[in-house]
Homo-oligomer: A and B are copies of this chain.
Amino acid sequence: MDDYRGKKVLVTGGLGFIGSNLAIRLVGLGASVTILDNLDPGGGGNRFNIDPVKNDVNVVIGDTCDLEKVQPLVSGCSHVFNLAGQVSHIDSMEDPFSDLRKNAVGPLTVLEACKKKNREARVVYAGTRQAYGRADVLPLVESLVLKPVDVNGVNKMAGEWYHMVYHGAYGIPTVSLRMVNTFGPRQLVKHSRQGFIGWFLKLAIDGETIQLFGDGQQFRGFNYVDDVVEALLVAGTSTKVVGDYFNLGGMRPHTLESLVQTLLCATGSGAYKMVPFPSEKRSIDIGSAFSSFIKFHVATGWEPRVPLDEGLRKSVEYYRQHKEHYW
């Protein structure tokens, strides 16, 4: 981790959930961090997210699709964390062109900037398990065909493969991590469009009733954000990951019902009930889906360290303390 000391690092989407946690950690490691974030009103960007390091990072408000803006930002960087994007599956179906812009044009623009200005930068991309679509076999492993079931999954798949292409064609050292359901401090929790964990967390803290679609027995993999940040940092330094893609994943899969029960233990408030699937969600639901992170573990030694209950307790504590910035 000493590799980051004194280095110039760009984090796109750095005011968002994972980006801000990463930026805070990078500052702690002695990196010189620039954040590029468009603070899209529909996105997860939140200036409070970087409150602990607000005087230690350079924040540029702008769009990753703006090549003229991105080019000078990548110049001289040792690392670019290409995290900016749109994460809502349902939004991607309602406005597929906006999703395409944010999840395909944006990452491609960052790569194009690196091609023009800095082919040495390690570019780490936030891919997603969603690109696999509905699982024919579990766990999801990297040798499986990607069969995305929503526009977001297609565009994130394209975003990942631009990184592979820019490695193969231009030698830019890129790597993609296919993230699973990530949770923790600094996530958007005020509505359910950007993932259900944050939304469930808010409902539980507010003492409300969580609605679980279907029977709640769908398995998922969950990663606490600190583990994901660690994975990003490792992907930025490992010599064995360049030009390749890797699953992240939880210690073990949990059912959604078990997630909610663990959450309600952490909050001591709230309740849950099962309800039928709304049709617009049913059509893009993927059922059980969890990933094996063994390829990444073998390459780098990374493994998740924060158990679900501990991560949820820390999250509840954070949001209770900083409620006014997230509610």
Chain A interfacial positions (CB closer than 8 Å to B): 93, 96-97, 100, 104-105, 108-109, 112, 143-151, 153-155, 157-158, 161-162, 164-165, 168-170, 283-284
> For residue A97, which residues in chain B have a CB less than 8 angstroms away from its CB?
105, 108-109, 112
Interface centre among A93, A145, A151, A283 (most CB of B within 10 A): A151
Q: How far is the CA of A112 from the CA of B97 in the complex (A)?
A: 9
CB distance from A85 to the nearest CB of B (A): 15
Contact pick for A146, options B145, B170, B283, B284, CB 8 Å: B145
Copies in the complex: 2
Main secondary structure of the interface of A (DSSP, over half): helix
CB distance from A145 to the nearest CB of B (A): 5
CB distance from A132 to the nearest CB of B (A): 11
Contact A168 B283 (CB under 8 A): yes
CB distance from A128 to the nearest CB of B (A): 14
Contact A158 B154 (CB under 8 A): yes
Q: List 20 A-B contacts (CB under 8 A).
A: A97-B105, A97-B109, A100-B104, A104-B158, A143-B145, A146-B146, A146-B161, A147-B161, A147-B164, A149-B165, A150-B169, A151-B162, A154-B161, A154-B165, A155-B158, A157-B157, A157-B161, A168-B283, A169-B284, A170-B283
Q: How far is the CA of A283 from the CA of B151 in the complex (A)?
A: 30
